[in-house]
Structure 1
Amino acid sequence: MDDFSRRDVLRLASVFGMTSALAPLGTSTATAADGAVANGAHEYSLKIDPTRRGPTISDTMYGIFYEDINRAADGGLYAELVQNRSFEYSSVDNSGYTPLTAWSTVSTGGASGTAEVVDDAERLNEHNRHYLRLSLDGSGDAAGTYGVVNSGYNSGMFLESGKKYDFSVWARTDQARGTTLTVSPTDESGASLAAKPLRVELRGDRWSKYTGTFVARASSTTGRLTVAAGGAGTVRLDMVSLFPRDTFMNRPNGMRRDLAEKIAALRPSFLRFPGGCIVNTGSMYPYRAPDWPRARSYQWKDTIGPVERRATNANFWGYNQSYGLGYYEYFQFAEDIGAMPLPVVPSLVTGCGQNHVTEDPELLRQYVRDTLDLIEFANGSATTPWGRKRAEMGHPKPFGLTHIGIGNEEPLVDEYFERFLKFRRAVESAHPEVTVISNSGPDDSGPVFDRAWELGRSADVGMIDEHYYNDPEWFLTNNDRYDSYDRKGPKVFLGEYASEGNRFYNSLAEAAYMTGLERNADIVRLTSYAPLLANEDYVQWEPDMIWFDNATSWGSTSYETQKLFMNNIGDEVVPSTASSTPVPSTPITGSVGLSTWATSVAYDDVAVTSADGSALFGDDFSGEASQWRKTGERGSWSVSNGAYVQHDTSAENTLVIAGDSAWSDYDLHVRATKRSGSEGFLVAFGVTDADNYYWWNLGGWGNTRSVVEKATDGVRRTLVGDDTSIETGREYDLRIEIRGRRVALFLDGRKWGEFTDDKIAEPFRQVVTHDRDTGELIVKVVNAQDAVARSNIDLGRQVRVSPVARLTTLQGDPDAVNTADAQPIRPRQSTLPDVSNSFTHVFPAHSITFMRIRVQSA
């Protein structure tokens, strides 16, 4: 995702220079502003009624969303140090993979041999089919060895001096007298990192598990693991494993301690797993060896039992996942951190760009049975078939599952909902205590979202899972999103959300939005920022909450923000009102533009006229296109047959711009013809620069949708849309009418749509909650602007107020980013004296402040 610039901040505030992004918004919590003061501050009033109570805040309000994205499991939270430990990597999963990815051969003392990954009758089991066969030719001196070395993840394994590491391998030998394996951790140069190597004596030509432990004598971030043998004959190896002894809660096959501790420090109330897109993408059929498609949807039964008997799978995000971190481990981890487990299972309708319905009634029945079996695995007694399996894995006591999600972001919403109802009917019949959650697709609005909510309301669904990622301005302008939700309708599980960026400014926008989530705690019952984890060397998605490399981990600014909210929730909302920021309203201004996306288009007869009809700009392309400015090197533009043609059908966003950035209240007219390619037209208006504009996207997303998008520093969000598609070879007449902040769009003379972009990015937001245990009001204030906010805080006269309040503050440069080397955004603790029933406090610019005030009834 693109980073955001200081333009976002300038858009939000200065006492003398507010822009149109801050046009007034009338929310249920805002009153008229008291005005600005001359010293660069804004003056606010904050009125709190400590004697009243608003909605009760759910015990499950804030949790975590976990998905194996950005190498969050193998190479991340799952503490295994060996990559491709079972030799199951394949070019079918990833074109860059081979069965020996992360492995290389090594020899000492003149020994030689061959190393080959095979799948034959000698395999370990049907789910773990590939193994390494070492053929030793007996060459070299008596101490010579031949074998393989594993490089781990990133630049190598992180090994710490003085720490214990547990080695294990499944192996067999055809030598009657046995074979000695030499196992040694080394640094990148090959120098040993253990006082002495492990000597593992293999006996017999049947698969057996061998183990050993060593203590690292030195630290390294580029560690390797060597496994080699001497002599002659054949040695077979599988499930080569190296685990730090020091895992979270000291659990075997456990979690990397520093990452798990950062997650636990959030005090999450639930753990949603095993992900989003990995749940319902790939083949919907269960594992069938040997030739069924490898890329399967996530099958929970593949992930339990002994790790050597678990299947591996191609991950939707482009790498292989071992399932060493499986459903049992997820349930155990949730219990260890005090979180409610919330699994999500596939529905036989794919999402995430793989829009497909599996029409197989027996398979659907099997998926429903698997879901019931999952609930039994979590909740059944040890005398039930699946409860017994849980007990055999070491947990006789039920895990206590109360919520389960069906599916993830399915755009084929009617087909999905038909299947959802079958899952719900079966679950509610057998387990009425379990809440079954549906979802509303991948966006905050639009046809899929609206239809999903329509179906959910009509079927009296208990909870709907919403997902959306938007720019900071969206979060600042939509604080009131849930104010108008039906209080008698389904509750909201906000399962995935984030502002698109990892700067502190993004966190300020998220914090402002979270005050609205808490204010609507009667509707919003569960929320989770996403994604949770990112390995800095394997990034498929940004932003992310916790970042890590092999040796260290650090929380982003959003981690610190989420932690502040999650550790200071309160039990119920306390009514409060705050004044708003005074902002002038200005019209949409900007030049015009033309663009394409994987499509060749001919544009002609571009005309811009003012509201009174006078001409501002025109180009019929009878000559050169000298009035147009390219914004980059993408695309191939030229004048051809009296039109301006973009020829390249592979280029994306080929934007060219013309006109005056000060234009307002104008009409843009253009004729457009699709020549070839996969999409349609992109006609821009209100263009400030290459990253800030509006455009009419006709025939986007593979010619399936048409929308108007607003780009803010390169991040686009949808304002209005429908399912219009564009025909190849047909000329279209397009007209866009801009008046103030209202825009109307006409396709072939008929109104296609309209919108008014006049919501404020209000930078000053607040919510107040009550902590029953401490008797404190938690006053949560976000000031997402350059100016300080001088605020009169009025608690009324019906309570006694403690004279000292406790403060926790996040404050800093809006461009600040927490990194491995520096975390400039960290919480600061302080006290505030002279608190009374009415007092003044100055909230710093670019800050999130939590103020704990103890009150008693007067």
Structure 2
Amino acid sequence: MSRTARTTRRRLGPAATAVLAVSCVLAPAPAHAGTVTDYAITVDPSAAGATIDDTMYGVFFEDINRAADGGLYAELVQNRSFEYSTADNTSYTPLTSWTVDGTAQVADDAGRLNERNRNYLSLGAGSSVTNAGYNTGIRLERGKRYDFSVWARATSGTTLTVSLKDAAGELAEARRIGVRGGWAKYTATFTASRTVNRGRLTVASSAAVALDMVSLFPRDTYRNQPNGLRKDLAEKIEALKPGFLRFPGGCLVNTGSMQDYSEAGGWQRKRAYQWKDTVGPVEERATNANFWGYNQSYGLGYYEYFRFAEDIGAMPLPVVPALVTGCGQNRATDDQALLRRHVQDTLDLIEFANGPAGSTWGGVRARMGHPKPFGLTHIGVGNEENLPDEFFARFQEFRAAIEAEHPEITVVSNSGPDDTGSTFDRLWQLNRAAGVDLVDEHYYNSPQWFLQNNGRYDSYDRNGPKVFLGEYASQGNAFRNALAEAAFMTGLERNADVVKLASYAPLLANEDYVQWRPDLIWFNNRASWNSAGYEVQKLFMNNTGDRVVPSTATGTPGVSGPITGAIGLSTWATSAAYDDVRVTAADGTTLLSDDFSGDASRWTHSGGGSWTVQDGAYVQTDTEAENTLVTAGDPAWKDYDLHVRATKRSGKEGFLVAFGVKDTGNHYWWNLGGWNNTRSAVEQASDGAKSTLLSEPHAIETGRSYDIDVKVRGRQVGLYLDGRLWGSFTDDKPAEPFRQVVTEDRRTGDLIVKVVNAQPTAARTAIDLGGADVSSRARVTTLAADPEDVNTETDTPVTPVASTFSGVAGKFTYTFPANSVTFLRIRQR
């Protein structure tokens, strides 16, 4: 996951009535010369088209937004082993989510359950502890069974009383468990008497006792598996019919220490994700600080990931750290012994997945319940590294070791955290030169960017490395975002000879624990629902086809007119001072000059932060505030030069200098020292969502003054730092709202005509099937809604509508609804 601080929050537009899918009632216009149409699609079924692999579309799972614990992992007890720590979150204690009645103390001493499960609860006689679960509480459904377990130790005969209650009383008959002797596992089963969302689990003890791994699982997990998955979430993922499952991250992979518990002189509380931590009995798995600000139990580990991939028919694609951190951390490890250990861990992972039951790690898999190998074919090394040469040197060592012992395994590289920039270019150069098979690209951009970049892969080298688009999404969860993603996906399919794998990200979001938006599937402790993006992904993933049938379509007018807009200054978690602001027209006329010798009356404060004039400079002092934008000037300004002197005073990042400002959600800004002061970039905001136009590794020094100049001419922009050209760009790509791709499903004989109409008017379209002999009836699936519609738990306006259309011929006319995604499945005879 690209940890870009600029990602906007989910935009919830006003409630709007969905536009009904009208394809079932449209009378086809006759296909003759007098037909009036807006667009034309021409299909050439006899031409060669790219083969589409069964694995093209998949899913990417990262433990973000509480996707694992409290989400896909069905455990109902939060902090079951008392391991929560301030290392995970400053608000955490070992008793987070627990309430004590009586006396209790969390211990970390030689009496612990095992070396990796260090904390346990020492509960006094006559005392109890109650767990609140996730979200509002523990979800129980009337008549369903729930399996309780606990590890306990007592020096004398002790009775545990285990109960499920809510504010109204008991939810099941209490269970009494006798405990005596050293650590042992005890179990009980409950049947819920009522359906509730605010249940609580209480364990009371008659005498002093030590407790660990307090657990409550629904019996009804996905496929009824022990230590299993939450059924509704797993089934929604399965319904996508994914061709692969990428896991476990994302930023989890290559952030934190690369060392193990006992290395570097002590217990490691913040470690990169290491697969060996996550297998074996759950009580012997460690917990770990999650990069996204909470604790991860590893109850959902590599074995469960492989098992889930097998269950849903997906190719497993694990990703391991390459000893170069990413996601804004930017460190490379030079410890050769540590590097060799991680390389060996990766070889051991292959043995765990594919080795015979008699091998060391294949035996671990077999003892966990799966003697048969999982059939691993691909493995990723590294994730979003921003140090290209350092990463690639280490990647080559992993690759050489893997290929020497397992030439059947495809080793996947990556291209950094952006869709463009020097890191992206350098990594692609290195990957091409080394003949890498597959390169993982990641990007999160505005809907406009996705509408502008349908042809991104048209010009990629057909003989070079193939693309794994491992993470992508439009910034937002409204239907307008899904429309833009659908338009972009037509370009992915058209280039299926280059783009071999693609997965939207992130996959899951617990509505009460959100670190990132957009997300594909939303949930709480009682329900789950599909986002608009999910419906688009499902439509493409369930109707992919086997080959591309070449087709063309008429377009819409391109970009015209110059970049216009006012200017702005901002900061992000940083205090900075700005001075000597000048805006000069191309003819030399001064449009604005402000040295802040007086007040700041010419500036409009539209964001957060605290702005004041101090010592002849305009200063923002709040180092916690994000996006503190102030603006000045005329939105109609064009062809101008902007100068500003900027000085960082303190904080995490650098400067944000805006131009072409229409309003707070529509502008460009030069982000100097962003991403925790590791990169500088030009970003374009469109309706609040941002896209990266340029990106370079770069940091801003505290206390140093920088001269910043931006030259805007037409749609061309030059950026100068301390008098030297830093970068330039031309923003002239049209945002094309009408896109199409046609594929053939050889198993059914269907032509699948896929059309996106991301505009507020219907598109009357003349379709020429190029002489194909087809049935007169088409099966139609339509997604059509207001662009601002967002699916929620109680309202899902973005829902597919199935219908039939009986006007198909070699040449026919079809009207695609406004703001719609339409798939026509046409049977060939």
Write the mapping of 1:719-798 to structure 2, written as runs, cut at 5 A: 719-723=693-697, 732-797=706-771
Identify if the C-alpha distance between structure 1 residues 638 and 847 changes in structure 2 by more than 3 Å, giving closer, same or farther: same
Q: Deviations over 1:242-289 (max 9, x none)?
A: 111101111011011001100100001111111211111111111239
Q: Deviations over 1:706-748 (max 9, x none)?
A: 3332222333322234456556666554443322212223445
Are 1:546 and 1:553, in contact at CA under 8 Å, matched by a contact in 2?
A: yes
Once residues 696 and 372 of structure 2 are traced to their aligned partners in structure 1, the CA distance between those partners, rounded to angstroms, is: 51
1:2 to 2, 9, 17: 9
Q: Deviations over 1:341-371 (max 9, x none)?
A: 1111111111112222222211111111111
Are 1:836 and 2:809 matched, yes or no?
A: yes
Give the CA deviation at 1:515.
Answer: 0.4
Once residues 105 and 674 of structure 1 are traced to their aligned partners in structure 2, the CA distance between those partners, rounded to angstroms, is: 47
1:97 to 83, 92, 96: 92
Q: Deviations over 1:37-65 (max 9, x none)?
A: 99xx9700000012223000112101110
Are 1:127 and 2:116 matched, yes or no?
A: yes
| Partner residue, 1:485 | 460
Give the CA deviation at 1:624.
Answer: 3.4
Identify if the C-alpha distance between structure 1 residues 494 and 186 changes in structure 2 by more than 3 Å, giving closer, same or farther: same
Are 1:185 and 2:164 matched, yes or no?
A: yes
Once residues 282 and 698 of structure 2 are traced to their aligned partners in structure 1, the CA distance between those partners, rounded to angstroms, is: 50
| Partner residue, 1:287 | 261
Are 1:52 and 2:47 matched, yes or no?
A: yes
Once residues 599 and 338 of structure 1 are traced to their aligned partners in structure 2, the CA distance between those partners, rounded to angstroms, is: 47
Once residues 367 and 821 of structure 2 are traced to their aligned partners in structure 1, the CA distance between those partners, rounded to angstroms, is: 48
Identify if the C-alpha distance between structure 1 residues 605 and 90 changes in structure 2 by more than 3 Å, giving closer, same or farther: closer
| Partner residue, 2:200 | 224
Identify if the C-alpha distance between structure 1 residues 101 and 840 changes in structure 2 by more than 3 Å, giving closer, same or farther: same
2:78 to 70, 74, 83: 83
1:822 to 769, 774, 795: 795
| Partner residue, 2:138 | 157
Q: Deviations over 1:421-463 (max 9, x none)?
A: 1111111111111100011111111111111111111111110
Once residues 359 and 667 of structure 1 are traced to their aligned partners in structure 2, the CA distance between those partners, rounded to angstroms, is: 45
Identity among equivalent pairs (%): 67
Once residues 67 and 664 of structure 1 are traced to their aligned partners in structure 2, the CA distance between those partners, rounded to angstroms, is: 44
Write the mapping of 1:510-525 to structure 2, written as runs, cut at 5 A: 510-525=485-500
Identify if the C-alpha distance between structure 1 residues 734 and 193 changes in structure 2 by more than 3 Å, giving closer, same or farther: closer
Structure 1's unaligned 5+ residue stretches are 10-36, 107-112, 137-144
1:846 to 791, 813, 819: 819
| Partner residue, 1:800 | 773
Identify if the C-alpha distance between structure 1 residues 615 and 323 changes in structure 2 by more than 3 Å, giving closer, same or farther: closer
The amino acid that maps onto 1:687 is V
Secondary structure at the residue paired with 1:510?
helix
Q: Deviations over 1:468-524 (max 9, x none)?
A: 111111111011111111111111111111101000000000000000000000010
Once residues 735 and 662 of structure 1 are traced to their aligned partners in structure 2, the CA distance between those partners, rounded to angstroms, is: 20
Write the mapping of 1:607-646 to structure 2, written as runs, cut at 5 A: 607-638=582-613, 640-641=615-616, 643-646=617-620
Structure 2's unaligned 5+ residue stretches are 1-7, 17-33
Give the CA deviation at 1:223.
Answer: 0.7
1:68 to 63, 66, 74: 63
Are 1:396 and 2:371 matched, yes or no?
A: yes
Once residues 558 and 325 of structure 2 are traced to their aligned partners in structure 1, the CA distance between those partners, rounded to angstroms, is: 45
Are 1:201 and 2:182 matched, yes or no?
A: no
Identify if the C-alpha distance between structure 1 residues 701 and 171 changes in structure 2 by more than 3 Å, giving closer, same or farther: closer
Secondary structure at the residue paired with 1:415?
helix
| Partner residue, 2:351 | 376
Identify if the C-alpha distance between structure 1 residues 122 and 348 changes in structure 2 by more than 3 Å, giving closer, same or farther: same
RMSD: 2.3
Give the CA deviation at 1:126.
Answer: 1.0
Are 1:214 and 2:185 matched, yes or no?
A: no
Larger deviation: 470-479 or 94-103?
94-103
Give the CA deviation at 1:70.
Answer: 0.8
Once residues 132 and 649 of structure 1 are traced to their aligned partners in structure 2, the CA distance between those partners, rounded to angstroms, is: 39
Secondary structure at the residue paired with 1:209?
strand
Identify if the C-alpha distance between structure 1 residues 285 and 618 changes in structure 2 by more than 3 Å, giving closer, same or farther: closer
Are 1:42 and 1:581, in contact at CA under 8 Å, matched by a contact in 2?
A: no
Give the CA deviation at 1:549.
Answer: 0.5
Secondary structure at the residue paired with 1:565?
helix
Secondary structure at the residue paired with 2:743?
strand
Give the CA deviation at 1:605.
Answer: 4.2
Once residues 295 and 80 of structure 2 are traced to their aligned partners in structure 1, the CA distance between those partners, rounded to angstroms, is: 11
Identify if the C-alpha distance between structure 1 residues 701 and 209 changes in structure 2 by more than 3 Å, giving closer, same or farther: closer
Secondary structure at the residue paired with 1:484?
coil
Secondary structure at the residue paired with 2:752?
strand
Secondary structure at the residue paired with 1:418?
helix
Are 1:5 and 1:713, in contact at CA under 8 Å, matched by a contact in 2?
A: no
Secondary structure at the residue paired with 1:486?
coil
Larger deviation: 692-701 or 824-833?
692-701
Give the CA deviation at 1:173.
Answer: 2.1
Once residues 645 and 212 of structure 2 are traced to their aligned partners in structure 1, the CA distance between those partners, rounded to angstroms, is: 64
Once residues 808 and 671 of structure 2 are traced to their aligned partners in structure 1, the CA distance between those partners, rounded to angstroms, is: 54
Are 1:158 and 1:219, in contact at CA under 8 Å, matched by a contact in 2?
A: yes
Secondary structure at the residue paired with 2:458?
helix
1:250 to 224, 245, 269: 224
Identify if the C-alpha distance between structure 1 residues 659 and 849 changes in structure 2 by more than 3 Å, giving closer, same or farther: same
Identify if the C-alpha distance between structure 1 residues 53 and 601 changes in structure 2 by more than 3 Å, giving closer, same or farther: same
Once residues 724 and 352 of structure 1 are traced to their aligned partners in structure 2, the CA distance between those partners, rounded to angstroms, is: 14
Are 2:415 and 2:427, in contact at CA under 8 Å, matched by a contact in 1?
A: yes
The amino acid that maps onto 1:49 is D
Are 1:313 and 2:291 matched, yes or no?
A: no
Are 1:4 and 1:713, in contact at CA under 8 Å, matched by a contact in 2?
A: no
2:314 to 321, 330, 339: 339
Once residues 699 and 209 of structure 2 are traced to their aligned partners in structure 1, the CA distance between those partners, rounded to angstroms, is: 61
| Partner residue, 2:565 | 590
Are 1:625 and 1:639, in contact at CA under 8 Å, matched by a contact in 2?
A: no
Identify if the C-alpha distance between structure 1 residues 817 and 385 changes in structure 2 by more than 3 Å, giving closer, same or farther: same
Once residues 193 and 816 of structure 2 are traced to their aligned partners in structure 1, the CA distance between those partners, rounded to angstroms, is: 51
2:634 to 639, 660, 678: 660
Once residues 331 and 722 of structure 1 are traced to their aligned partners in structure 2, the CA distance between those partners, rounded to angstroms, is: 37
Give the CA deviation at 1:579.
Answer: 0.2
Once residues 694 and 842 of structure 1 are traced to their aligned partners in structure 2, the CA distance between those partners, rounded to angstroms, is: 36
Secondary structure at the residue paired with 1:483?
coil
Once residues 351 and 375 of structure 2 are traced to their aligned partners in structure 1, the CA distance between those partners, rounded to angstroms, is: 10
Secondary structure at the residue paired with 1:802?
strand
Are 2:163 and 2:170, in contact at CA under 8 Å, matched by a contact in 1?
A: yes
The amino acid that maps onto 1:79 is A
| Partner residue, 1:533 | 508
Are 1:708 and 2:708 matched, yes or no?
A: no
Once residues 694 and 502 of structure 1 are traced to their aligned partners in structure 2, the CA distance between those partners, rounded to angstroms, is: 22
